[in-house]
Amino acid sequence: MLNQIFGEFFSYFLTYLPTILAMSLNIVLLVFAIKIKRNSYKYGITLMISSILLITSNVLYISIQYPYLALRLYNELGLPFSMVNMILMSWNFVFLSLNTTSAILLIVSLSLIYKTHKRDIKEI
C-alpha cells in the first residue's frame, strides 16, 4: 500500500513540478514588483498585476487538477465526451486569457522599465 502512495505522489509531483516552479518564480517577481512600487516607479503596478494573474492561473491549474480533469470527468462522472471536450475548451480559454493578459502587462512594464532607465542613463 505504501508503494502505491509513493508512486501516486511521485506522479503528482512530476506532473505539477513545472507549475510549482513557475509559481515560485512569479512570487519572486511579485516581491520585486512590490519593492519597485515602494520606490514610486510607474511600472510597479503593471508588473504586480502581471505576476498576480500568472499566480492565479497556476493556482487554478493545480486546484482543478487540469492534467487529470478529462479522465475524471469522463470516467468518474460519466459525462459524454462532447461535454468533457467543451469543459476542457472553456478552461483552455480561461488559461489563455489569463496568460495573454499577463504577457501584455509584462511587455508594457518592460517597455516602461526600458524608457525610465534609458532616460536616467541620459541624465548621467
Structure-model confidence comparison of residues 116 and 76, the more confident one: 76
Task: Look at 112 and 56; give whichever has higher pLDDT.
Answer: 56
Structural domain span for residue 85: 2-123
pTM > 0.85: no
Could you report the per-residue pLDDT of 35-92, keeping only the tens digit for each?
887 776 777 888 899 999 999 999 999 999 899 999 999 999 999 999 999 999 999 9
Structural domain total, the chain: 1
End-to-end CA distance of the chain: 67
**CA dihedral sign, ordered 122, 36, 61, 105:** negative
Nearest in space to 104 (alpha carbons), one of 35, 38, 53: 53
- Quick one: pLDDT at residue 123? 58
The Cα–Cα gap between 69 and 75 comes to 10
Q: What pLDDT was estimated at residue 119?
A: 61
Helices (H), 1-124: 2-38, 44-63, 69-71, 81-123
Alpha carbons within 13 A on the beta-carbon side of 114: 6
Better-predicted residue by pLDDT, 85 or 113: 85
- 19 pLDDT band (50/70/90 cuts)? very high
Q: How confident is the model over 92-120, as a mean pLDDT?
A: 88
CA torsion 11-15-18-21 (nearest 10°) is: -50
